[in-house]
Homo-oligomer: A and B are copies of this chain.
């Protein structure tokens, strides 16, 4: 194998995106479908600012996608890899 340093960093960045409970909960909501920032904030009992900051990180990693409609912004998962990693992790936590 012999992983390059670059790929190690990229992999670490990918998993970093999933390494915080707030982001995990954001993703768990987005798995069910797209949601606005305020709906996420309400569902998570976090401030809209905090949610927006986290979404920015997820957006930069291309894990979520934003769709603007009027003054709302709807976020959804950009890619099913994320959902797969999520469910595989959940599996590990629940059983095994």
Contacts and interface: CB of A to CB of B under 8 A. Distances in A.
Interface of A: 1-3, 5, 7-12, 14-16, 18-21, 23-25, 28, 31-32, 79, 81, 84-86, 88-94, 96
A89 B63 CA distance: 12
A95 to B, nearest CB: 10
A45 to B, nearest CB: 10
Contact of A8 (B14, B25, B85, B94): B25
Contacts of A20: 12, 16
A79 B93 CA distance: 12
Given A19-B16, A24-B3, A31-B1, A11 B86 contact: yes
